[in-house]
Chains A and B, each alone.
Chain A
Amino acid sequence: MIHDFTVVWTERSLMLSGLANTVILSVLSAVCALFLGAMLAMLLLRRNKAPVVAARVFVDAMRCTPFLLFAYIVYYGLPSLGISFDNWSSGLLALIIYNTAYMAEILRGAAASQPPQPVEAGMAFGFSGFGLYRRIVLPPLILSAGPVVGNQVIQIIKDSAFLTIIALPELTHAASSIQSRHYVPFAAFISAVLLYWALCLVVETGVTAVGRRADARR
């Protein structure tokens, strides 16, 4: 068994490049999904009907679609409509679109538990439209939703493993290559799990930092 882990160690450069790709995918899609989710949440919080309904339908559709299936659709399905991307673009796009819906829903939920008076004060002081949202509405939402956003980032990291099916050379893909090359499945997969775990610890540290800022304001 120890020998198996030594084999994985000799393949560490493959493992690390897989880890690097997982980090790149996760960070890019988390940042983009949070940004786009914040924009979408602005729509969800609007009072006028049509955009709300459209945003609502999108969010619910994403939340009820398994991510693996969605990644299949983007990579294998869209080309039959004449839209095709390489595996990197498809993977990133799938992660971003899918998680935008989640982030929007998280922020909308956080808005429901915020007192309305500060926003009203924003309006009374001349804020409106995007400025009102960006300066007055959104910052408290991000602070209060910090832990839930963190959970979603962990979900993104784990979902990125599915992208191995479209041959994206991320961490799971690397572990899988190592096990098939050397037939050390347990050692290869456990090593990958430990690396995923380390990533999650980093995310949790970030969440704690946001939580400290939120507590100072509570």
Chain B
Amino acid sequence: MNLSPDALDERERAVLSVSSVSKSFGALQVLKDVTFSVARGETVCLLGPSGSGKSTLLRCINWLERPDAGRVFLEGEQVGLTAGGLSMSDRELSSMRTRIGMVFQHFALWPHLTVLQNVMEAPVHVQGRSKREAREQAEGLLARVGLSDKLDVFPARLSGGQKQRVGIARALAMRPALILFDEPTSALDPELVGEVLTVMRDLAHEGMTMIVVTHEMSFAREAANRVIFMDHGAIVETGRPETFFRSPTTDRARQFLLRYASSPGAAGVAGALV
């Protein structure tokens, strides 16, 4: 593949650059030639109907799913493949992954560890940082997400919103270049969504680089720098949230937003479209 000097420069400045990624599960093609990049400090929301490939795209970024084609670059370095195009060793891939935080729809906390241990685990045992330093950091992060009183509690004793805040603290503890959020509020009771979105909004404003797969349109409107709308495995439309929500350029995006507008709790979107 030939790259112009401009493209190379762009790739190096971007925290993440995804180029022509495709992925199929059997006969079903879930991602079709997806290309986008994310600049440092940017919050990008991936929107789209269920099954449009958003989560698979996130999982291709840290190689939890191996793309069939295409390349992913983190701060200019290719993820998953060596310079010669071969698969990375487990060790190389793991070390790339430590630079990409991830927050999961179903929290995926480690059930045998306390809240504090969950946040310390990877910094100590993957990054090899000292226990004392990791503990101080973990206590700080948990204070920041409002869980200072839950340090020694096991995840099973937490509400969904609390679990997800631990999940966010756990991701931050790795000091990642970028955090992937895979529908972080979809598994929560409606009254617990707010506490998680508040934490995420603060992170976005503080300049954390984030990619957020979400169905929370209000979050995308307020916190995203850019919205990427996907349908059937391809990027259909991308733009600034104020433009996207007010005047989407494609029919598919318009229909998608209308469907959300007609569901309860999405009045803001309805108002914008009428």
Q: Inside 8 A of B126's CB, which chain A residues have their CB?
A: 125-127, 131
Q: CB-CB < 8 A to B64: which residues of A? A: 120, 123-124
Least CB distance, A215 to chain B, in whole angstroms:
9
User: Is A185 among interface residues, defined by CB-CB distance under 8 A?
Assistant: no
Return the CB mask of B117-149 against A: 1 if under 8 Å, else 0.
000011001110000000000000000000000
The reply to whether A118 and B111 form a contact with Cβ atoms under 8 Å apart is: yes
Contact between chains at B125 and A117 (CB < 8 Å): no
Residues of chain A from 182 to 218 with CB closer than 8 A to chain B in the complex: 216-218
User: Bound state CA distance, A123 and B170, in angstroms?
Assistant: 14
How far apart are the CA atoms of A216 and B104 in the complex, in Å? 23
Q: Determine whether B174 belongs to the interface, using a CB cutoff of 8 Å to chain A.
A: yes
Residue pair A117, B104 in contact (C-beta under 8 Å): yes
B97 touches A126 (CB 8 A): yes
Q: Are B156 and A127 touching (Cβ within 8 A)?
A: no
Are the CB atoms of A127 and B125 closer together than 8 Å?
A: yes
Smallest beta-carbon distance B221→chain A, Å: 28
Asked if A143 contacts B98 (CB within 8 A), the reply is: no
Residues of B within 8 A of A118 (CB): 108-111
Asked if A63 CB lies within 8 Å of chain B CBs, one says no
Pick from B66-74, B87-95, B201-209 the stretch touching chain A: B87-95
Q: Shortest beta-carbon distance, A24 to chain B, in Å?
A: 30
B104 / chain A contacts, CB cutoff of 8 Å: 117, 120-121
**Given A120-B64, A125-B122, A127-B94: A218 and B156 interface contact (C-beta under 8 Å):** yes
Given A121-B104, A131-B125, A126 contacting B111 (CB threshold 8 A): no
A124/B62 in contact, CB under 8 A: yes
Q: Is A135 an interface residue (CB 8 A)?
A: yes
Verify A128–B112 contact, CB threshold 8 A.
Answer: no
Shortest distance between the CB of B27 and any CB in chain A (Å): 22
* Cβ distance B88 to chain A, nearest Cβ, rounded Å: 11
Q: What count of chain A residues pass the 8 Å CB interface test?
A: 22
B122 touches A117 (CB 8 A): no
User: Most chain-B Cβ atoms within 10 A of its Cβ — which of A118, A139, A218?
Assistant: A118
- Min C-beta distance of A122 to chain B, whole Å: 7
A14 vs chain B, min Cβ distance (A): 44
Is the beta-carbon distance between A129 and B109 smaller than 8 angstroms? no
Which B95-118 residues have C-beta < 8 A from chain A?
95, 97-98, 100, 102, 104, 106-112
Q: Is A148 an interface residue (CB 8 A)?
A: no
CB-nearest residue of chain A to B62: A124
Which residues in chain B, 161-178, are within 8 Å of chain A measured between CB atoms? 170, 174
B154 within 8 A of partner (CB): yes
Among B64, B102, B122, the one with the most A-chain Cβ atoms within 10 Å of its Cβ is B122
Known: A124-B102, A126-B126, A126-B127. A140 touches B94 (CB 8 A): no
- Taking a contact as CB atoms under 8 Å apart, the answer to whether A217 and B112 are in contact is yes
Whether A136 is near chain B, meaning CB under 8 Å from some CB there, is: yes
Q: Could you tell me the distance in whole angstroms from the C-beta of B145 to the nearest C-beta in chain A? A: 17
A137 smallest CB distance to B (angstroms): 10
The residues in B between 48 and 69 inclusive whose CB is less than 8 angstroms from any CB of A are: 62, 64
Complex: A129 Cα to B121 Cα, angstroms: 16
**Pairwise interchain contact B111-A121, C-beta atoms closer than 8 A:** no
Q: Are A121 and B108 neighbours in the complex by a CB distance under 8 Å?
A: yes
Chain A residues near B155: list those with CB within 8 A. 217
A135–B112 CA distance with the chains assembled, in angstroms = 10
A217: B residues at CB distance < 8 A: 111-112, 154-156
Q: Which residues of B lie under 8 Å from residue A131 when comparing CB positions? A: 125-126
Q: Which of A118, A120, A122, A124 has the most CB of B within 10 A?
A: A124
Q: Give chain B residues whose Cβ lies under 8 Å from the Cβ of A120.
A: 64, 104, 108
Q: 3 shortest A-B CB distances, which residue pairs?
A: A117-B108, A121-B108, A126-B98
5 pairs across A/B with beta carbons < 8 Å? A118-B109, A118-B110, A129-B91, A135-B121, A217-B156
